[in-house]
């Protein structure tokens, strides 16, 4: 067993294709760190000028209308009712920024976002930050709602925590936060695509030297398991080239802290003001560990899927196709809000956006409350076990011999 | 040549790869139809509602002022205000099924937007609005609809409408699909060298036959795309093949759906030949299917990763491989805008094909077919 | 007709073929014998132009040489080499393979069915070759070359993995093809069989082709030339020399001694029997020097040293 494992591992490492994958990832990681990360434009920036402009214009409004006899005509009264508090928060933020008191800034900002959201959501006269309203976005205010409360929760965490705060932390530019953002977008897919490419030929390559390999005194079942383990190790190994990019980002913008808050959207406690869920902070370390565990589960699922297809169809394109269907299936069927009508949480393919599952964002846009880490692990884990059983049964059949 | 094609036919007809490819293409077309149905692509009411919201958000960046024409507000603010009014009108027209009103206000809207580009303060609100190119395309599209007196289509799942959408998506993935399909073209042969090496056939002819048979399978794939879309005629109707499509081919122009699809097909075939030839060369050099694939994909994504390259080398054939974004004039909206002309694109790809053919003739011979 | 003219091949400074010149005539089966790695395959590869010789040339049918790609095609129309088993398309049937070869060389399609019948491949020829056994694959490779029907055929290890029945079967087809006037060059380690079917046998020695006939007078003649004795001790050998002076004995590493009796008359031959009988040697036979003997004479002694 051990010898076979070493044999497979050495084949895996010396495989030109695999080396190329690691090289490409290294290139992409560096490219991202040097070119893309610096040009990141967060929607919620730390912008004293913007705060000041808003503050001054509202102050002007307040001072004009404060004693105006017509102040209860039209919307002016509404303005008079909400602006004083809002402006207080803005003032607190401005002062904190001027004093470089990041803790105070965090406190005020957190409150500011909660307050702003309460007034903005569902209101036709107030708007979220412009970044949500890009041309063609049909769900700008929903995105704004999520974005505001996410930011509020984040700043609340900053105010409470004891780690070094900086503008980079506020704008989520540090290495760990960049990783978190990436996990929330395309990184899980990229990792899974790599996993498929790393696994795609792990069984079928043996067909090139059948006579040597067929005779190894190990059963097909054990061979498959070892091949799977090797692929899994290789797939987890993609962390190495990617971490180079993270180190570059870390050197430029700081590494961040494993205690940094990551807001998780959750609906488990009492419903909030707008009958939606609320955000609860978890530590960055926890968030990353959850992600890694989930991604490893997805890897296992994908690897077993590829192994199974390799045995049945014996064609590398079939492997790619099967993997691609798993990864891209959701995007064909996805519709915002359908979680309310369908049990979206029971399909393993709905869990490929790992970062969004862990952070609860998928629940938010599916309008569901069941797509969470634990349920996901159970679903993907069960599917994995089913695949494992299939592979076990098939490996006992003569008809589907490995080579 | 005929005998080679016959041989290739025997080999290809039972190849699993082809079966899988045809399966994949069918799945893709059906998946796309489901996707469009789910996303309600082309629902004008939803589109206009979102546009309305965006404009309101843009307006909220200004302090409320007198927006009448002789009021004291800035020009851009007035402009946005009028845009919003027109969008409201359009939404109403879409709701009440008044295509003429919709088109008229669309034309007015695009004219307003044209003006807006030159107004002071446009940069601040640019994110809420369509880009210059998008607006131009819309403008000529609606102008044309009005001239022809065709009502605007609301069902994008009729056969012809679906084809535009399908070919539009294909534009961005056609190259990737081909790269996957052709990456093992010669590698398969490396596993049968002792059979192939002795054929009494010059190597160029062998490669040509290989290319032609691969190309014919790809043509079959294109036919399959159309066949799989045919059921839509039954479910949603045929649509109108002379319906206009606004494109940028050096100038902003109107094509009919037939013309548009024609250009797409032309591109698809040329790109197919290009990718096949390059795969052959890369196969011979790298002797590895995945390395070939990775190199192809890398070359394809390079102009996207470094958009500066596009203006630096406008004749790079890879600038034209995504023919949807080409026909949408997307290169005009880059930070270094370039005019990429679809005819030049074809010339560039064809020239590259010639170069690849010369390379194959000069440098590759049967002797390079060695076992891997 | 195929002519090799002063062919030299070197791989990393080592001579593989050195100044090889030979001519093969239509209606000949040529046997090539040598241990692995001594240049048999290289020679065939040179004939096919898969390996470019450092110097020298191959002339086919007195007019074609590998001077241009066009000529290469013309020569390949005339010369074919047997495909290797591992190169078969596993997803195609045997018959489809034959069809491919038939159409590539524009040969008579009737040959396909004829060859299938001759080789007894009917029962499996329509199945995918992925399911074939070693022998079935080997027969298919052979059949493919027969179907290509070229005037010159090169076969490397043609009898690999075949049972004695099939060896006979293929030998008979080879002889038939020879009758049709083809040049067949066969490399094989089944020496007895090769000896039987070949018109000329060449051994490789020091990167050169050596005609077996020229090695010893006792090979390839249709009369008694040699007595083969097993376990001849040195003492008996001495006595033998005394009794039969001017007789040559060669002891091979295989434990067999060859007594050269090419000029002996009947009476002398009889005396040898009596001599052996007197010295209690029972394991001996009269005949020719076989290819097996030549092989051990040539190569095994080297190994031993």
Residue written as token pair 């919201």? B53
Closest CA to A1 of A221, A235, A231, A236: A221
**C77 with C209, same domain?**
yes
Tokens of A350: 């709905």
Closest CA to C97 of C115, C79, C78: C115
- Quick check: helix, strand or coil at residue C10? strand
**C167 with C288, same domain?**
no
Contacts of B173 (CB under 8 A, 6+ apart): none
Asked if B200 and C84 come within 8 Å (Cβ–Cβ), the reply is no
Residue C304's pLDDT band, with cuts at 50, 70 and 90, is: very low
**Structural domain of residue B124, as residue ranges?**
44-148
Report chain B residues whose CB lies below 8 A from the CB of C52: 367
Residue A339's pLDDT is what? 84
- Tell me the shortest Cα–Cα distance from B347 to chain A, in angstroms: 31
Q: What percent of chain B has pLDDT over 70?
A: 94
Q: Cβ atoms within 10 A of the Cβ of A36, count?
A: 13
Residue C301's pLDDT band, with cuts at 50, 70 and 90, is: low
Rounded CA-CA distance C57/C65 in Å is 7
- Give the DSSP H/E element, type plus range, for residue B359: helix B342-363
Write the DSSP assignment of B328-352 as a string of letters: TTGGGGSSS-----HHHHHHHHHHH
Checking if the pLDDT of B334 tops 60, the result is: yes
**B23 with B99, same domain?**
no
Candidate ranges A125-129, A360-364, C86-90; pick with highest mean pLDDT: A360-364
Domain finish residue from C190, C214, C238: C214
**C202 with C231, same domain?**
no
Residue C305's pLDDT band, with cuts at 50, 70 and 90, is: very low
What number is the average pLDDT over the span C76-93?
88
Asked if B199 and C76 come within 8 Å (Cβ–Cβ), the reply is yes
Structural contact between residues B275 and B334, judged by C-beta atoms closer than 8 angstroms: no
C269 found inside a domain:
yes
What B268-272 contacts at long range (C-beta under 8 Å, 24+ apart), as own/partner pairs, is B268/B170, B268/B174, B268/B222, B268/B323, B269/B215, B269/B219, B270/B346, B270/B349, B270/B350, B270/B353, B271/B174, B271/B175, B271/B178, B271/B321, B271/B323, B271/B349, B272/B178, B272/B215, B272/B218
**Where is average pLDDT lowest: A274-288, B70-84, B293-307?**
B70-84
Residue B149's pLDDT is what? 82
User: For residue range A327-359, what is the model confidence (pLDDT) as tens digits?
Assistant: 988 888 888 888 888 888 899 999 999 999 999
User: For residue range B182-232, what is the model confidence (pLDDT) as tens digits?
Assistant: 998 888 888 888 888 888 888 778 888 989 999 999 999 999 999 999 999
User: For residue range C249-265, what is the model confidence (pLDDT) as tens digits?
Assistant: 877 777 778 887 777 78
- Tell me the shortest Cα–Cα distance from A80 to chain B, in angstroms: 16
Tokens of B79: 């402009």
**Where is average pLDDT lowest: A1-5, A212-216, C41-45?**
A212-216
The overall average pLDDT reported for chain A is 89
Residue B266's pLDDT is what? 94
**C183 with C293, same domain?**
no
What number is the average pLDDT over the span A118-136?
82
| Beta bridge partner(s), residue C208 | C205
Rounded CA-CA distance A355/A373 in Å is 10
**C231 with C300, same domain?**
yes
**B133 with B182, same domain?**
no
Residue B350's pLDDT is what? 95
Domain finish residue from C179, C214, C249: C214
Residue C1's pLDDT is what? 86
**C188 with C276, same domain?**
no
Checking if the pLDDT of B65 tops 60, the result is: no
Residue B68's pLDDT is what? 58
User: For residue range C55-79, what is the model confidence (pLDDT) as tens digits?
Assistant: 998 999 888 888 887 888 888 889 9
Tokens of A179: 């990783």
Residue B167's pLDDT is what? 92
Checking if the pLDDT of A300 tops 70, the result is: yes
Candidate ranges A128-137, A182-191, B80-89; pick with highest mean pLDDT: A182-191
- Tell me the shortest Cα–Cα distance from B19 to chain A, in angstroms: 10
Backbone angles phi, psi at B175, to 5 degrees: -60, -45
Give the length of chain B: 372
Report chain B residues whose CB lies below 8 A from the CB of A20: 290-291, 294
Nearest CB to C96: which of B3, B10, B191?
A: B10
Nearest CB to B54: which of A17, A135, A334?
A: A135
Tokens of B303: 């102009």
- Tell me the shortest Cα–Cα distance from B220 to chain C, in angstroms: 22
Report chain B residues whose CB lies below 8 A from the CB of C96: 10
Q: What percent of chain A has pLDDT over 70?
A: 97
Residue B282's pLDDT is what? 92
**Where is average pLDDT lowest: A178-182, B125-129, B260-264?**
B125-129
**B184 with B67, same domain?**
no
Q: Cβ atoms within 10 A of the Cβ of C148, count?
A: 27
The total number of structural domains in chain B stands at 2
Residue of A nearest to B180 (CA): A317
Structural contact between residues B218 and B270, judged by C-beta atoms closer than 8 angstroms: no
CA–CA–CA angle A121, A122, A127 (5° rounding): 55
The total number of structural domains in chain C stands at 2
- Quick check: helix, strand or coil at residue C159? coil
Q: Does C80 touch chain B (CB under 8 A)?
A: yes
Structural contact between residues A234 and A22, judged by C-beta atoms closer than 8 angstroms: no
Residue A306's pLDDT band, with cuts at 50, 70 and 90, is: very high
Structural contact between residues A337 and A273, judged by C-beta atoms closer than 8 angstroms: no
Checking if the pLDDT of C303 tops 70, the result is: no
Asked if B57 and A35 come within 8 Å (Cβ–Cβ), the reply is no
Q: Which chains touch C (3 or more CB pairs under 8 A)?
A: B
**B95 with B189, same domain?**
no
Looking at this predicted complex, what is its ipTM? 0.86
User: What's this model's pTM, rounded to 2 decimal places?
Assistant: 0.85
Structural contact between residues B128 and B58, judged by C-beta atoms closer than 8 angstroms: yes
Q: Does C50 touch chain B (CB under 8 A)?
A: yes
Residue written as token pair 């240049």? C39
| Beta bridge partner(s), residue C28 | C183
**Where is average pLDDT lowest: B254-258, C22-26, C109-113, C157-161?**
C157-161
- Give the DSSP H/E element, type plus range, for residue C139: helix C134-148
Tell me which residues of chain B, numbers 112 to 171, contact chain C at a CB-CB cutoff of 8 Å: none
**C239 with C202, same domain?**
no
**C24 with C169, same domain?**
yes
- Tell me the shortest Cα–Cα distance from B128 to chain C, in angstroms: 57
- Does A9 or A219 have the greater pLDDT score? A9
State the CATH number of the domain containing residue C190: 3.40.50.300
- Does B2 or A227 have the greater pLDDT score? A227
Rounded CA-CA distance A152/A146 in Å is 10
Nearest CB to B195: which of C52, C87, C99?
A: C87
C207 found inside a domain:
yes
Residue B372's pLDDT is what? 38
- Tell me the shortest Cα–Cα distance from A86 to chain B, in angstroms: 17
**C24 with C82, same domain?**
yes
Residue of B nearest to C77 (CA): B200
Residue B371's pLDDT is what? 43
User: For residue range B23-46, what is the model confidence (pLDDT) as tens digits?
Assistant: 999 999 998 998 888 877 777 788
Residue C220's pLDDT is what? 64
Report chain A residues whose CB lies below 8 A from the CB of B21: 317
User: For residue range B242-272, what is the model confidence (pLDDT) as tens digits?
Assistant: 888 899 888 888 999 999 999 999 999 999 9
Q: How far is CA B76 from CA B90, B133, B145, in A?
A: 21, 19, 28
Structural contact between residues C209 and C199, judged by C-beta atoms closer than 8 angstroms: no
Pairing of strands C79-81, C152-156: parallel
**B55 with B189, same domain?**
no
Checking if the pLDDT of B365 tops 70, the result is: no
Residue A303's pLDDT is what? 96
Q: What percent of chain B has pLDDT over 90?
A: 29
Structural contact between residues A373 and A294, judged by C-beta atoms closer than 8 angstroms: yes
CA A48 to chain centroid, in Å, comes to 29
- Does B157 or B162 have the greater pLDDT score? B162
Residue C17's pLDDT band, with cuts at 50, 70 and 90, is: confident
**Residue B151 gets which letter from DSSP?**
P
Domain finish residue from B88, B117, B148: B148
Q: Cβ atoms within 10 A of the Cβ of B120, count?
A: 9
**Where is average pLDDT lowest: A198-202, A381-385, B163-167, C194-198?**
C194-198
User: For residue range A44-88, what is the model confidence (pLDDT) as tens digits?
Assistant: 988 888 888 888 888 888 888 777 777 666 677 788 888 889 999
Identify the burial level of B307 via C-beta atoms within 10 angstroms of its C-beta, where 0-12 means exposed, 13-18 middle and 19 or more buried. middle
State the CATH number of the domain containing residue C264: 3.30.70
Closest CA to B322 of B300, B347, B293: B300
Q: Does B361 touch chain C (CB under 8 A)?
A: no
Residue A9's pLDDT is what? 93
Checking if the pLDDT of C267 tops 90, the result is: no
Residue A269's pLDDT is what? 60
Rounded CA-CA distance C49/C43 in Å is 10
Q: What is the 3-state secondary structure (H, E, C) of C183-234?
A: EEEEECCCHHHHHHHCCEEEEEECCEEEEHHHCCCCECCCCCCEEEEECCCH
Residue C218's pLDDT band, with cuts at 50, 70 and 90, is: low
**Where is average pLDDT lowest: A5-14, B63-72, C94-103, C135-144?**
B63-72
Structural contact between residues C139 and C162, judged by C-beta atoms closer than 8 angstroms: yes
């Amino acid at each position: 067993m051990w010898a076979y494992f070493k044999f497979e591992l050495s084949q895996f490492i010396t495989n030109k294709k695999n080396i190329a994958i690691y090289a490409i990832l290294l290139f992409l990681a560096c490219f991202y760190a040097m070119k893309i990360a610096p040009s990141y434009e967060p929607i919620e920036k730390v912008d004293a000028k913007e705060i000041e402009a808003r503050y001054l214009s509202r102050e002007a409004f307040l001072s004009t209308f404060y004693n105006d006899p017509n102040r209860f005509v039209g919307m002016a009264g509404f303005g008079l009712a909400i602006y004083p508090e809002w402006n207080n928060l803005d003032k607190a933020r401005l002062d904190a920024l001027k004093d470089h008191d990041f803790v105070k800034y965090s406190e005020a900002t957190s409150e500011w976002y909660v307050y702003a959201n309460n007034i903005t959501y569902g209101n036709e006269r107030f708007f979220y930050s412009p970044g949500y309203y890009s041309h063609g976005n049909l769900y700008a205010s929903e995105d704004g709602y999520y974005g505001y409360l996410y930011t509020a929760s984040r700043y609340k965490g900053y105010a409470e925590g004891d780690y070094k705060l900086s503008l980079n932390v506020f704008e989520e530019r540090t290495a760990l936060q960049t990783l978190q953002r990436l996990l929330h977008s395309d990184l899980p897919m990229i990792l899974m695509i790599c996993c498929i490419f790393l696994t795609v030929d792990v069984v079928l390559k043996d067909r090139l030297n059948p006579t040597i390999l067929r005779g190894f005194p190990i059963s097909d079942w054990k061979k498959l398991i070892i091949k799977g383990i090797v692929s899994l190790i290789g797939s987890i190994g993609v962390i190495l080239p990617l971490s180079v990019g993270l180190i570059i980002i870390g050197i430029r913008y700081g590494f961040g802290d494993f205690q940094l808050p990551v807001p998780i959207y959750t609906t488990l406690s009492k419903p909030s003001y707008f009958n939606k869920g609320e955000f609860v902070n978890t530590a960055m370390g926890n968030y990353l560990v959850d992600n890694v565990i989930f991604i490893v589960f997805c890897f296992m699922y994908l690897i077993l899927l590829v192994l199974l297809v390799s045995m049945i169809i014996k064609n590398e394109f079939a492997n790619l196709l099967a993997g691609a269907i798993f990864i891209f299936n959701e995007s064909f069927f996805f519709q915002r809000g359908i979680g309310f009508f369908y049990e979206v949480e029971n399909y393993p393919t709905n869990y490929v956006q790992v970062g969004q599952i862990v952070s609860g964002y998928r629940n938010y846009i599916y309008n569901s409350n069941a797509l969470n880490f634990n349920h996901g692990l159970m679903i993907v884990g069960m599917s994995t076990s089913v695949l494992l059983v299939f592979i076990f049964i098939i490996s006992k059949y003569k008809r589907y011999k490995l080579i | 040549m005929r005998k080679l094609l016959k041989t290739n036919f025997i080999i290809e007809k039972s190849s699993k790869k082809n079966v899988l490819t045809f399966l994949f293409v069918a799945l893709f077309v059906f998946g796309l139809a489901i996707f469009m149905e789910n996303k309600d692509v082309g629902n004008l009411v939803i589109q206009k509602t979102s546009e309305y919201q965006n404009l309101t958000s843009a307006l909220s960046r200004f302090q409320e002022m007198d927006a009448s024409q002789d009021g004291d507000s800035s020009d851009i603010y007035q402009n946005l205000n009028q845009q919003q009014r027109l969008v409201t009108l359009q939404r109403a027209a879409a709701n009440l099924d008044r295509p003429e009103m919709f088109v008229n206000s669309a034309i007015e809207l695009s004219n307003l937007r044209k003006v807006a580009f030159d107004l002071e303060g446009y940069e601040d609100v640019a994110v809420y609005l369509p880009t210059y190119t998008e607006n131009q395309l819309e403008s000529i599209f609606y102008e044309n609809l009005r001239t022809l007196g065709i009502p605007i289509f609301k069902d994008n799942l009729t056969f012809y409408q679906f084809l535009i959408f399908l070919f539009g998506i294909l534009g961005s993935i056609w190259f990737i699909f081909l790269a996957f399909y052709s990456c093992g073209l010669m590698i398969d042969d490396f596993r049968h060298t002792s059979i192939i090496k002795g054929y009494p056939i010059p190597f160029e002819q062998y490669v040509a036959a290989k290319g032609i048979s691969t190309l014919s399978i790809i043509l079959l794939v294109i036919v399959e795309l159309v066949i799989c879309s045919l059921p839509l005629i039954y479910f949603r109707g045929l649509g109108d093949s002379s319906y206009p499509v606004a494109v940028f081919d050096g100038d902003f122009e109107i094509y009919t759906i037939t013309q548009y699809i024609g250009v797409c097909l032309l591109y698809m075939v040329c790109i197919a030949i290009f990718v096949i030839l390059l795969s052959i060369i890369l196969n011979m050099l790298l002797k590895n299917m995945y390395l070939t694939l990775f190199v192809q994909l890398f070359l394809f994504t390079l102009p996207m990763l470094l958009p500066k390259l596009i203006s630096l080398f406008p004749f790079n054939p890879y600038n034209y491989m995504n023919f949807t974004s080409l026909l949408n004039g997307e290169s005009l909206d880059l930070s270094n805008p370039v005019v990429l002309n679809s005819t030049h694109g074809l010339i560039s790809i064809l020239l590259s094909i010639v170069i690849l053919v010369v390379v194959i003739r000069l440098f590759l011979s049967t002797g390079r077919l060695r076992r891997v | 007709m195929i002519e090799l003219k002063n062919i030299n091949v070197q791989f990393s400074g080592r001579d593989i073929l050195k100044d090889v010149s030979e001519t093969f005539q239509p209606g000949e089966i040529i046997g090539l014998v040598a241990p692995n790695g001594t240049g048999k395959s290289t020679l065939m590869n040179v004939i096919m132009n898969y390996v470019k010789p450092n110097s020298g040339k191959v002339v086919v049918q007195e007019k074609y040489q590998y001077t241009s790609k066009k000529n290469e095609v013309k020569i390949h129309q005339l010369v074919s080499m047997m495909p290797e088993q591992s190169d078969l398309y596993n997803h195609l049937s045997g018959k489809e393979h034959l069809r491919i070869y038939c159409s590539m060389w524009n040969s008579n399609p009737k040959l396909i069915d004829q060859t299938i019948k001759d080789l007894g491949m009917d029962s499996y020829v329509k199945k995918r070759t992925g399911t074939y056994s070693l022998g079935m694959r080997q027969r298919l490779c052979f059949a493919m070359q027969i179907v290509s029907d070229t005037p010159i055929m090169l076969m490397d290890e043609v009898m690999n993995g075949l049972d004695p029945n099939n060896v006979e079967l293929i030998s008979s087809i080879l002889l038939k093809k020879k009758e049709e006037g083809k040049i067949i060059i066969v490399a094989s380690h089944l020496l007895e069989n090769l000896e039987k079917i070949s018109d000329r046998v060449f051994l490789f020695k020091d990167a050169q082709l050596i005609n077996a006939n020229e090695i010893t007078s006792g090979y390839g003649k249709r009369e008694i030339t040699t007595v083969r004795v097993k376990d001849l001790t040195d003492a008996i050998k001495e006595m033998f020399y005394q009794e039969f002076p001017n007789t040559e004995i060669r002891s091979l590493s295989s434990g067999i001694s060859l007594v050269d009796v090419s000029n002996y008359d009947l009476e002398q031959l009889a005396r040898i029997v009596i001599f052996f009988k007197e010295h209690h040697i029972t394991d001996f036979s009269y005949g020719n020097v076989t290819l097996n003997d030549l092989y051990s004479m040539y190569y095994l002694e080297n190994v031993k040293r």
